[in-house]
Amino acid sequence: MIFTVENGCFDYDKKRQDNFLLQNINFSFSKGELIAVLGPNGAGKTTLLRCMMGLLPWRSGATLLDGENIRHIPYNLLWRRIAYVPQAKNPLGMFKVEELVLLGRSSHFSLLRQPSAQDREIAMDCLRRLHIQHLAGRNCRQISGGELQMALIARALAAQPEVLILDEPESNLDFKNQLVVLDAMSELVEQGIACVFNTHYPAHAMQRADKALLLDRQGHYRFGPTTEIINEDNIKNAFGVEAVIGEIETKHRIYRDILPVSVLKLDLESESLADANGANQKGEDHMTQENAEERSRETRVAIVGAIVEDRNAAEKINELLHEYAKYIIGRMGMPYEKKDVSIICVVIDAPEEITAALSGKLGRIHGVNIKTTYSRI
Amino acid sequence: MERQNKTFSYKKCAIVCSLIVAPIALAFIALAVGRFPLSFSTVFQVLFEPISDVTNIDAQTQTVLWNIRLPRILLAMLVGAGLAVSGLAFQNLFANPLATPDTLGVASGASFGAVLALLFGLNLIWVQLMALIGGVLAVGLTYSVSANRNRGSITTVVLAGLIIGSLFTALVSLVKYVADAESQLPSIVYWLMGSLSSANYGMLLLGAPLIVIGLVVLLLLRWRLNLLPLPEDEARSAGVNISRLRLATVVSATMITASCISMCGQVGWVGLLVPHMCRMMFGGNNQKLVPACLSVGAMLMLIVDTLARTVSAAEIPVSILTAIIGAPVFIFLLRRTGGWSL
């Protein structure tokens, strides 16, 4: 499965001829990838999701699913492959959770038919898959926001889709439920479903997503591996915020996090300037991109050390290391039978973002404890 | 776990059976009671007379049962079931617990159509057709007045229905004003109050098919009705042709309402009361609610009509009784389970 957006343009103002809200958006992803869509309020994150699902028509450009324009795929076939998870708001209807989830089967049988026992079984399976089978008999109005969000994910899963598109799934949730939802997404991605979610939290994107799409208010966007997209410069440009990216160390892992420090003072001025003079803004963009490239050529020696508790992780680790082989200058692997763990040590000479991406990906594998030490050279 | 499932399915089975059996049992009772009381055994004898050898039943009893009570009972059950299910359909369609044929102005629209047909002295087919046109017109107007980008809010829809409803009520008054005070006006006024007394087989033959077709369509669509109240994006992402579903629902529900109104006038409350009663008893899943409303609606209307023709010497119009019975029952249910919601 390859999902592609080609030259997508959109604006709510139908008369507008240039400077669209979304301008020439191009990106693609395939199965098993987690894509985060980021951007300030009003940048068009939700609009982008709606356009790419065909719920809003692109002004020009198209969404392709395995090369076929989704406009030409019959709606019931399309919605078996793509599923949409709305934000958990107050639900209409006194449904039980299992009835809500069953609604996700709609595209699988004809209009006049009733859901079969098999459809019910699939709906229950989806609840089990997300570990919320205990909610099945509960009323949708009596469960918490986090539980409702999980139920909505289960409803989308019931369509047995290849792509899951989630609209701010972890907004309005507390810490625990944010983790529950994010873990569920990571788990589904591991099972081979592609997930696209938009979020207000760059940190969630950094910790989870393989790729990120960063929108700004001027209709520009960046798309690429998360560690390359989410850096202090890009955050500053997109959000108008001075932010620092740092690391939080626990006994088992180092987590990357981002902290907004101050609002850029020139914010208002630069925005109005940008509106008045788009060309200038683009020039600036060019500059920062050059800077980034220059910086990325600068490599640093680092040691990535991991203790692996799960035997099944070995294959995935090898795959990843193979992917980054050209930067790796040395590696050591050592099983420790007595405690049933393996110790892996990789020495790498690569730009910092690359090293961060590798250790981030390794850290997301189940049963891997990992830390990275950078040299000053 | 196994045991739990079993008891659950026994309970389910019992509910299904009682929803089928209870209306039939009530119909038997209704056949027996009235100004001309009959014993149950007589009712049985008369009903099974065509297929048995008993021939000692007098003609008067036969006429009362076959030509007066039975068509009236059938009509009452049909109208009750129809109004309840169409009320449910409208509530889902507008994602609005207060949407009913009455509040949406459909009933007024259909009344206007029917009254207009009565004014011109047209026959029942035309009354039905005009009622249908009036109903569709009213629901279309209400929808377009209340619709905005995110669909109307609960209050907007009700307000729009109120406006459209009063517009058509005014038109009905206009027809009454124009109508001949000697011959046309009394029949129009009496018809508007709602009565099932004029029930006969000819009328049933004309009106029943439309109601039955509407009911069958809604029964087949019953699970899909659950998709209607969802927000636009969610409904479309269910992978169902949502506009076709909406059209099928609105046409069926309006057809039922118009046909009911053209046969027995504007009977209020049933479309609001029954869906909410059923929702409080069976939950919000339309797959269960449609058959439940069908059965409970038929029973309620049957009870009301039986009371209408038995409590006093002069018959009481059913619309008065539905309101008198409906309001307190509804308040009781509302207090006990708390809250209107879909």
What pairing do the DSSP bridges indicate for beta strands A22-30 and A221-225?
Answer: unpaired
Average pLDDT across chain B, whole number: 84
Tell which B residues from 206 to 245 touch A, by Cβ distance under 8 Å.
Answer: 220-224, 226-227, 229-231, 233-234, 236-241, 244-245
A109 CB within 8 Å of a chain B CB: no
**Measured between beta carbons, which residues in chain B are less than 8 angstroms from residue A103?**
226-227, 230, 238
What pLDDT sits at residue A272? Answer: 45
- Higher-confidence position of A227 and A195: A195
Interface touch B279/A96, C-beta < 8 Å: no
Torsion of CA B76, B78, B79, B83, to 10 degrees: 140
How far away is chain B from the Cα of A157, in angstroms, using its nearest Cα? 12
**Closest Cα in chain A to B246:** A111
**Measured between beta carbons, which residues in chain A are less than 8 angstroms from residue B215?**
none
Interface touch A94/B236, C-beta < 8 Å: no
Across the interface, which of B95, B238, B285 has its CB nearest the CB of A107? B238
Among A18-32, A87-101, B134-148, whose mean pLDDT is lowest? A87-101
Among A124-138, A163-177, A249-263, B185-199, whose mean pLDDT is lowest? B185-199
Average pLDDT across chain A, whole number: 85
- Higher-confidence position of B79 and B12: B79
Residue B191 burial (C-beta neighbours within 10 Å; 0-12, 13-18, 19+):
buried
Interface touch A96/B287, C-beta < 8 Å: no
Share of chain B above pLDDT 70, in %: 91
Across the interface, which of A80, A103, A141 has its CB nearest the CB of B226? A103
A277 CB within 8 Å of a chain B CB: no
**Measured between beta carbons, which residues in chain B are less than 8 angstroms from residue A108?**
239
Q: How far is CA B333 from the centre of its chain?
A: 20
Which tokens in the block code for residue A189?
A: 């991605």
A49 CB within 8 Å of a chain B CB: no
Across the interface, which of A79, A93, A95 has its CB nearest the CB of B238? A79
Tokens 């082989």 locate to A325
What pLDDT sits at residue B165? Answer: 92
Across the interface, which of A50, A94, A107 has its CB nearest the CB of B239? A107
Torsion of CA B307, B308, B311, B313, to 10 degrees: -150
Q: How far is CA A95 from the centre of its chain?
A: 30
User: Is the ipTM here above 0.90?
Assistant: no
What pLDDT sits at residue B152? Answer: 55
* pLDDT above 60: residue B95: yes
Rounded distance, CA B262 to CA A50, Å? 45
Look at residues B252, B235, B247 and name the one whose alpha carbon lies nearest to residue B87.
B252
> Coil, strand, or helix at residue A261?
strand
Interface touch B341/A141, C-beta < 8 Å: yes
Which tokens in the block code for residue A181?
A: 């939802």
What pLDDT sits at residue A188? Answer: 93
Mean pLDDT of B29-46: 84
Tokens 């009959």 locate to B38
Q: Is A42:A53 a contact under the CB 8 Å cutoff?
A: no
Q: How far apart are the first and last CA of chain B?
A: 30
Interface touch B233/A84, C-beta < 8 Å: yes
Look at residues B104, B128, B109, B106 and name the one whose alpha carbon lies nearest to residue B117.
B128
A103 CB within 8 Å of a chain B CB: yes
Mean pLDDT of B317-321: 82
Which tokens in the block code for residue A267?
A: 């914010």
pLDDT digits (tens, 9 = 90+) for B226-236: 998 888 888 88
Interface touch A75/B241, C-beta < 8 Å: yes
Mean pLDDT of B248-274: 87
- Higher-confidence position of B336 and A210: A210
Mean pLDDT of B70-96: 92
* pLDDT above 60: residue A269: no
A53 CB within 8 Å of a chain B CB: yes
pLDDT digits (tens, 9 = 90+) for A285-313: 444 444 445 555 688 899 999 999 888 88
What pLDDT sits at residue B252? Answer: 93
Among A267-271, A343-347, B331-335, whose mean pLDDT is lowest? A267-271
> Coil, strand, or helix at residue A62?
strand
A94 CB within 8 Å of a chain B CB: yes
**Closest Cα in chain A to B278:** A94
What pLDDT sits at residue A279? Answer: 39
How far away is chain A from the Cα of B223, in angstroms, using its nearest Cα? 6
What pLDDT sits at residue B51? Answer: 72
- What b-and-e string marks burial along A260-288, b requiring 16 or more CB atoms within 10 Å of the CB? eeeeeeeeeebeeebeeeeeebeeeeeee
Provide CB contacts within 8 A for B320, sequence distance 6+.
Answer: B193
What pLDDT sits at residue B38? Answer: 82
Q: Is A88:A145 a contact under the CB 8 Å cutoff?
A: yes
Rounded distance, CA A155 to CA A162, Å? 14
What pLDDT sits at residue A287? Answer: 41
A106 CB within 8 Å of a chain B CB: yes
Provide CB contacts within 8 A for B174, sequence distance 6+.
Answer: none
Which residues lie across from A221 on neighbouring strands? Answer: A215
Query: Most distant CA pair in chain A: distance in Å?
Result: 71
Look at residues A347, A331, A340 and name the one whose alpha carbon lies nearest to residue A313.
A340
B237, B243, B246: best mutation site toward chain A, by most A Cβ within 10 Å?
A: B237
Report which DSSP code applies to B65: I
**Measured between beta carbons, which residues in chain A are less than 8 angstroms from residue B238?**
79, 103-104, 106-107
What pLDDT sits at residue B339? Answer: 54
Look at residues A214, A178, A247, A281 and name the one whose alpha carbon lies nearest to residue A43.
A214
What pLDDT sits at residue B221? Answer: 94
CB pairs < 8 Å spanning A and B: 77
- B83 pLDDT band, cuts 50/70/90, is very high
CB-facing half-sphere around the CA of A66: CA atoms within 13 A: 9
pLDDT digits (tens, 9 = 90+) for A321-342: 888 888 999 988 888 888 888 9
Q: Is A47:A21 a contact under the CB 8 Å cutoff?
A: yes
Mean pLDDT of A28-49: 91
Share of chain A above pLDDT 70, in %: 90
B95 CB within 8 Å of a chain A CB: yes
- A80 pLDDT band, cuts 50/70/90, is very high
What pLDDT sits at residue B334? Answer: 66
Q: Report which residue type is found at B282.
A: F
Provide CB contacts within 8 A for A26, sequence distance 6+.
Answer: A5, A6, A7, A8, A223
> Coil, strand, or helix at residue A139?
strand
- B2 pLDDT band, cuts 50/70/90, is very low
Share of chain B above pLDDT 90, in %: 30
- Please say whether the dihedral angle defined by the alpha carbons of residues B259, B263, B265 and B266, taken in this order, is positive or negative: negative
Across the interface, which of A78, A82, A86 has its CB nearest the CB of B234? A86
Tokens 């996090």 locate to A257
Distances (CA, A) of B103 to A255, B231, B271: 58, 22, 10
